[in-house]
Structure 1
Amino acid sequence: MIEQRTIHGGASDQEANHPAKSLILLLLLAFSGAIVLGAISVFIGLLAMGISAGNLGDALSVSTGNVGFLKIVQAGSSIGMFVLPALLLGIAEKRRHTYLDFKTSVNPSLWFMVVAIMFFAAPIFEQAIKLNEQMRLPGALSEIENWMKAKEAEQERLTNLLLSDTTYSGLLTSLIVVAVIAAVGEEFLFRGCVQGILTRWFKSPHTAIWITAIIFSAIHLQFYGFLPRMLLGALFGYLLFWGKSIWLPVLAHFINNATATIAAFYLKRQGKSLDELDFSQQVPNYLYFMSFVLTVVLLYQYHKIATQQTTRSYGKTLD
C-alpha cells in the first residue's frame, strides 16, 4: 500500500498518531455504524416487506425468516459496519494518513491477472476447505468445539436462507448483498484500514497482511472455513500491497463471492443443496499441482508488473 501521509513532528505528534488510537476509532465507528444502520435497515425492511413489528423475531429467524427482509438488514448492517467506518476514518485522519486512495492508477493488465489468479487458485482453496473440515479439538475442549459447530451451523442456515430465492431477481439482489456490498465493505475496512493501521504499527507490511487475514477470517465465526478464508485474506492483502489500488482486492473478493453465489443459485434451481457445491471429487490430482504452479506464476507476474507501475509513478518501489 502507498504509505499513508504522516505529519513528522515532535513527541506529541507521534503520540497523537499512534496506530492504536486509529484502530480504536475504527472499532468505535464500526460498532456504532452496525447499530445505527442495522436499526435503520430493520425499519426500512419492515416497511418494504409489510411486516409488523410484532413479527420481527420471526422475520429475523435463520429458520423461518423473510428472505427479502433479511437481505435488506444484511445490506444495511454491512454498510454500517464496514463501508461507512472505513470512509469516516479516512475523513477523520485525512491530514495524517490515506487509507483509501481512489486515485491510484492501475495497469490494465492487472485487472485481467486478478481474474486469472482467482480462477486458477480456486482448486487450492477447495483443498484448504477440505483440510480445515478435518479439524478436531482435544476432548478437553469439547464444549468449545460444540460451540464452534453450532456457530457454523447457524451461519450455514443463514447462507442457505439468503440464497434460497431461485428467481433471477433474487439472484440479482443476492449478488448485490453477498458479492458487491461484502466485497467493497470488507476490503475497505480490512485491507484499506486495518491493514494500513497495522502496517504503521508493526513497520512490516507482511506482518500486517497476515494479522489482518487472521482477523478477517475469525470475525466471520465460521471456524471450519477459517484456513481458506485466512488464505483468501492474505491473497487480497498482497494484491493491495503490490498493486496499490483498493479496487484490485475488491475485484478479487467480488469474483470469489459472486462465483459461489451463482453456483449456489443454479444448484438451488436444480433442487440440489449447497452441500453439493463440491468439485474436489471431479478434479484429478495433477490439476491441483498445475493450479498451484499457475497461481504462483501469475502472482509473480502480478508483482512484477505492479512494481514496474509503481516505479514509473513514484520513481521508486514502495514495497
Structure 2
Amino acid sequence: MVKRPVNQMTPGLQFLVFICISIGIILLGTVISFVIVLATQGLDVLLDVLRGTLNNPGIVRALYVLQIVGTTLPIFIAPVVFACYIVKQPAEYLKTTIKINWVLFVAAFFIMMISMPLIELSSNINQKMVLPEFLKGIEDWMKRSEVMARKVTDLLLKMDTVADMIKNLVLVGLLTAIVEEFMFRGVVQTLMMKMTKNLHAAVWITAILFSAFHMEFYGFLPRMIIGAILGYFAAWSGSVWPAVWGHFLNNGTAVVVTYLFQHKMIKTSPDSTHVFNYGSYIFSLIIIIILLLVYKNLAQGKNSHDFNGEELG
C-alpha cells in the first residue's frame, strides 16, 4: 500500500499530525528549558519553580527561560515545521503575505480598542460561571491553577523601569502574538476551514481551541471572543499579519496599563472588571459589528477568496 503525502491526506489526519508535532516540540522545549535553568541557576531554583515557590530571587529569570524556551519558541517552531516541511505549503498554512491593504491595520486598531467593554462584559459573565457539583474537584483545581498563573504573571510583569516595559512589550506583546497567530490563525484555522468548509465555523472552532489552549477557565469567554475577532482579521484579509497586530495591541495594552498603574500614573487597575457600564457594553458590540463589516469590505476589495479559492461568507 502506497502512503499518500501528508498534504494529500484528509484535513482531519493533517490536524492529528500537527497536534502530534506540536506536543512533541513543546515537550522537547520544556526539557531543554529545565536543563538551561538547572545549568545556569542550579537545582534549588528549578525545584522552586516545579513546586510553585515564587520567593526565590532567581525565580523571575527562570520563569522567562521556561516561558520562552519551553513554550513560546515551540509554539512558533511547530507550525513552521508543519507548513514548510510536512505539507510544504507555507503560504497557504501560515498566510504570511504582506500584499494587503494597509488600512486594515487601522481598522484592526479601532476594533481592538473598542472591543474592551465587550471583553470586560464577557469576563464578568465568565467569572460567575460554576461547574456542576460533581465537578467541584475539577473546579477547585482550576481555581488553584489560575491563582498560581496569576502570581507568575504578576512576577513577569513587575516592571521597575521603562526598559522593563519595553522588554515585556517585545516578549509578552509582540513575540507571543506572532507565535500564537502562526499556530492558530495560521495552521489551525486553515485546517478547520478545510474540515468544515465554513468560514464562521472555522473561525469560532479555532477561537475555542485557542482559548482552551491557555487552560484558564475563568478567562475562557473573553479569550474566545478575542480569538474570533483575530480569526476574522486573518480569514478576510488572507494574511496573518492583521491578526498579529490585533493580538499585539491586546497584549501590549495590558503591559502598558500595568506599568502605568504600578508607577501610579493611572488609578485604574489592569485587573479591574468594572471600568465600563452597560451602555458601553451595548455600544461596543454594535460598533465592533459595524467595523468588522467595514474591515471585511476593505479586505475583500483586494482579496475576496478564501484559502481554496471559494467565495467567503
Whether contact under 8 Å (1:62, 1:154) holds in the other structure is no
CA distance in 2, matches of 1:23, 1:258: 30
Alignment correspondent of 2:250: 256
Report the counterpart of residue 307 of structure 1 in structure 2: 300
Question: Which segment is superposed worse, 136-145 or 12-21?
Answer: 12-21
Deviation at 1:271, TM superposition (A): 11
Residue 146 of structure 1 is aligned with which of 140, 145, 161? Answer: 140
Q: 1:85 to 1:15 in 2, by over 3 A?
A: closer
Instruction: Provide the residue aligned with 2:68 in structure 1.
Output: 75
Match of 1:58 in 2: 48
Counterparts of 1:113 and 1:240 in 2: how far apart (Å)? 13
- The residue type paired with residue 292 of structure 2 is L
Distance 1:22 1:14, change over 3 A: closer
> Corresponding residue for 2:188?
194
Q: Which amino acid aligns with 1:83?
A: F
Supply the distance in 1 between the matched residues of 2:182 and 2:24 (Cα, whole angstroms). Answer: 17
Alignment correspondent of 1:23:
15
In structure 1, stretches of 5+ residues that fail to align are: 1-10
Helix, strand or coil: the match of 1:309?
coil
Aligned to 2:28, which of 25, 29, 36?
Answer: 36
1:137 is displaced (CA, Å) by 2.2
In the superposition, the TM-score normalised over structure 2's length comes to 0.87
> Structure 2 vs 1, CA of residues 75 and 272 (structure 1 numbering), >3 Å: closer, same or farther?
farther
1:135 matches 2:132:
no
CA apart distance, 1:165: 3.4
Give the whole-Å Cα distance in 1 for the aligned partners of 2:30 and 2:243. Answer: 26
Which residue identity lines up with residue 233 of structure 2 in the other structure? Answer: L
Classify the secondary structure of the residue corresponding to 2:74: helix
- In structure 2, stretches of 5+ residues that fail to align are none
State the AA in 1 paired with 2:262: K
Relative to structure 1, the CA distance from residue 96 to residue 178 in structure 2 (aligned partners, 3 Å threshold; closer, same or farther) is: closer
Amino acid at match of 2:77: L
**Does the CA-based 8 Å contact 2:231-2:243 persist in structure 1?**
yes
Relative to structure 1, the CA distance from residue 17 to residue 97 in structure 2 (aligned partners, 3 Å threshold; closer, same or farther) is: farther
* Distance in 2 (alpha carbons) for counterparts of 1:46 and 1:38: 12
Separation of aligned partners in 1, 2:53 and 2:292: 39
Q: Secondary structure at the match of 1:242?
A: helix
1:167 correspondence with 2:161: yes
Residues 72 and 179 (structure 1 numbering): CA distance in 2 closer, same or farther, change over 3 Å?
same
Q: What's the TM-score, normalizing by structure 1? A: 0.86
Cα offsets for 1:158-179 (capped at 9, x unmatched): 1112112322232222222211
Distance 1:74 1:199, change over 3 A: same
Equivalents in 1 of 2:179, 2:129: separation in Å? 30
Q: Aligned letter for 2:264?
A: Q
Q: Distance in 2 between matches of 1:298 and 1:74?
A: 34
Which residue of the partner structure matches residue 107 of structure 2?
113
Aligned partners of 1:82, 1:273: CA distance in 2, in Å? 35
Q: 1:157 aligns to what SS in structure 2?
A: helix
* Superposed CA offset, 1:74-97 (max 9, x none): 012233331001111111212598
Q: Distance in 2 between matches of 1:68 and 1:12?
A: 46
Q: 2:281 aligns with which of 288, 302, 318?
A: 288
Change (3 A) 1:298 1:185: same
Q: Percent identity?
A: 29
* Structure 2 residue identity aligned to 1:33: I
Task: Say if 1:120 and 1:291, in contact at 8 Å, map to a contact too.
Answer: yes
CA distance in 1: counterparts of 2:48 and 2:26, whole angstroms = 21
| Alignment root-mean-square deviation, CA | 3.0
In the alignment, the residues of structure 2 paired with residue 74 and residue 14 of structure 1 have an alpha-carbon distance, to the nearest angstrom, of 31
- How many Å apart are 1:277 and its aligned residue? 2.1
Aligned pairs, how many?
Answer: 306
